[in-house]
Amino acid sequence: MTFEANMIFHGRGYLFGEGSWGESERVSLEGVRWGEFVVGKLFELVSGRCSNSGNLEHDNMGVSYVGATNRNNGVLDFVRPVEQLMMRGNCIAFVKQGEGSVGYAVYKHEDFIASTSIAAGYAPFINKYTGIFITTVADKVRGKYSYNYPRSEARLKKEVIQLPIDDSGQPDYAFMERYIRSIEGRLIHEYTSAKQLTPPP
């Protein structure tokens, strides 16, 4: 099984489980009000626990090993689970170190093992849709970091990101979810139309 096929197999529920097969409403960013929020106040941050990937055993049917990369949604390999190294999914994985990848963020749906170059951000408002929205925004800070200026946990906690706000000035997570759902629905509709696929019953 190729690495790319393995990525799809492992993500099959995340990729295909909740999406709408019909064309969805169009949601625009026009007129949206934005506010600034500190990462350390939005998320509980938990550092990755794997300091030596050489001790992990490759396993095509195993769990994602997430590390310092800006490709494959952060996945470097698939490995046999190690209970004391496992991290819960449904979080944002912030890349703290790694030349070319420091400063990136990815949404992780599945449970995984993370290197010490990763900090996982957990919050009650995170799901597939809000996670994808926030990682896109969070990625905009990556230009300030480098191999010689890593994203330490202290710096990560102080990072400021801009998010849509509601009438009370709080993050508008419902809008973020609707916005990403609208993009997902449109892309699925375009793909199924092009391939002349029939939506499932």
**How confident is the model over 5-43, as pLDDT tens digits?**
344 344 445 444 544 445 557 888 989 999 999 999 999
User: By the 8 A CB rule, do 118 and 94 touch?
Assistant: yes
Phi first, then psi, for residue 161 (nearest 5°) are: -120, 155
- Give yes or no for residue 90 having a pLDDT over 80: yes
User: By the 8 A CB rule, do 128 and 109 touch?
Assistant: yes
CA angle at residue 96 from 94 to 100, to 5 degrees? Answer: 100
Task: Residue 101: name the closest of 77, 69, 72, 74 by CA.
Answer: 69
- Give yes or no for residue 156 having a pLDDT over 80: yes
User: By the 8 A CB rule, do 66 and 114 touch?
Assistant: yes
User: What is the predicted pLDDT for the residue at 199?
Assistant: 56
What does pLDDT average to over the chain?
Answer: 86
- Give yes or no for residue 138 having a pLDDT over 60: yes
Helices (H), the chain: 3-10, 12-16, 39-42, 128-138, 153-158, 173-195
Task: Residue 87: name the closest of 69, 74, 102 by CA.
Answer: 74
**More confident of the two residues 98 and 33:** 33
- Give yes or no for residue 72 having a pLDDT over 50: yes
CA distance 80 to 59: 5
Q: What is the DSSP letter of 169?
A: S
Q: 98: phi > 0 → left, psi -120 to 50 → alpha, else beta; which?
A: left
Give all domains of the chain, ordered by start, each with its CATH number.
21-195 (3.90.220.20)
Confidence band for 160, pLDDT divided at 50, 70 and 90: very high
Residue 4 tokens, joined: 């790319």
**More confident of the two residues 16 and 123:** 123
